[in-house]
Amino acid sequence: MQCKTFIIMFDTYIFDLDGTLLDTLNDLASSCNYALRENSMPERSIDEVRRFVGNGVKKLMERAIPGGLENPKFDATYTLFRQHYLKHNLDTTRPYPGVMDLLSELRRKGKNVAVVSNKFYAATQELCQHFFGHELVPVAIGERENIRKKPAPDTVMEAMRQLGVSKYNAVYIGDSDVDVMTAQNSGMPCISVLWGFRDRDFLVAHGANTFVETPEEILSL
C-alpha cells in the first residue's frame, strides 16, 4: 500500500468490475478478435486490448477497429462482438486472487457493496450474479441508454440510491484513470488497485494517490 492512508472506516464500497474484481481481459480480447477476424480486419494483441479497455466495450471496439466509428463496418463489427461476448464472457474470466475473501469479509462486517461498470448492462448483471451473487454484491449497475456512463457520476449515484446510502463514508475502488475521474466527479475518495489494466505510473499521471497491491489491503483502509 502506498501514499495516502484514510483515517475513517468506510461503510460503503463501490467497485469497478473489469480489472478490479474480475480478470476479463482474455475473454474481451477473444471476442474482439473474433469480430475483427470475421470482418476481415487485423486482430489485436492482448497488450493492445489491455490499453483499449476501461471506458466501455463500445470504446474498446472503437479503438480496435481501423478508422474507429468512421469505418463503415463499425456497427456490424461491434454488434458481432457483443453477440460473441455474451456467449463467451465466462470462458476464462475469473475473480482476482483475494477478491472473494474481500467481498465476503466486507459483507460479514455489514458493509454496503455495489459494482458500477461501463460494461453493457446484461453482461454486468450476468458476471456479478455468476461469480458473486446477490449476497456479496447486492447492486450491480452496467451501461444502459438512460444513464450516463463513467466518468460521469450517474451510475455511482444510482448504485447508492439502490443501496439506500449517501456518498458520506463511501469509497470508490477501481483500476483505471476513468475510475479516478469517476470518484472525483462523485465527490468520493478513490482507491486504485495495481493488479488491473493500468500500472502505477499511468495512474499517478492521472491523479491517483492511494494504491493497494492486494485486495486484503482494502480492509485496512
**Structure confidence by residue, pLDDT tens digits, 63-110:** 999 999 999 999 999 999 999 999 999 999 999 999 999 999 999 999
Task: For residues 128-141, give the mean pLDDT.
Answer: 97
Q: What are the beta bridge partners of residue 142?
A: none
Which domain CATH number covers 44? 1.10.150
Q: CA dihedral in degrees (13, 120, 138, 110; nearest 10)?
A: -10
- Nearest 5°: phi and psi at 30? -60, -45
pLDDT at position 55 is: 83
Nine-digit cell string for 74: 463499425
Task: For residues 45-63, give the mean pLDDT.
Answer: 93
Beta-strand (E) ranges in the chain? 2-3, 12-15, 22-23, 94-95, 112-120, 139-143, 170-174, 190-193, 210-212
Q: Is the pLDDT of residue 126 over 80?
A: yes
Domain boundary among the residues 88, 115, 139 is at 88
Question: Structural domain of residue 74, as residue ranges?
Answer: 25-88
pLDDT at position 115 is: 98
Provide the mean pLDDT of the chain. 94
pLDDT at position 5 is: 53
Domain boundary among the residues 71, 88, 105 is at 88
Q: Are residues 114 and 74 in the same domain?
A: no
Helix (H) or strand (E) holding 182: helix 177-186
pTM of the model: 0.93
Q: Are residues 64 and 150 in the same domain?
A: no
Which domain CATH number covers 179? 3.40.50.1000
Domain boundary among the residues 88, 109, 136 is at 88
> What domain count does the chain have?
2
Q: Are residues 103 and 207 in the same domain?
A: yes
Q: Is the pLDDT of residue 1 over 80?
A: no
Q: Are residues 118 and 102 in the same domain?
A: yes
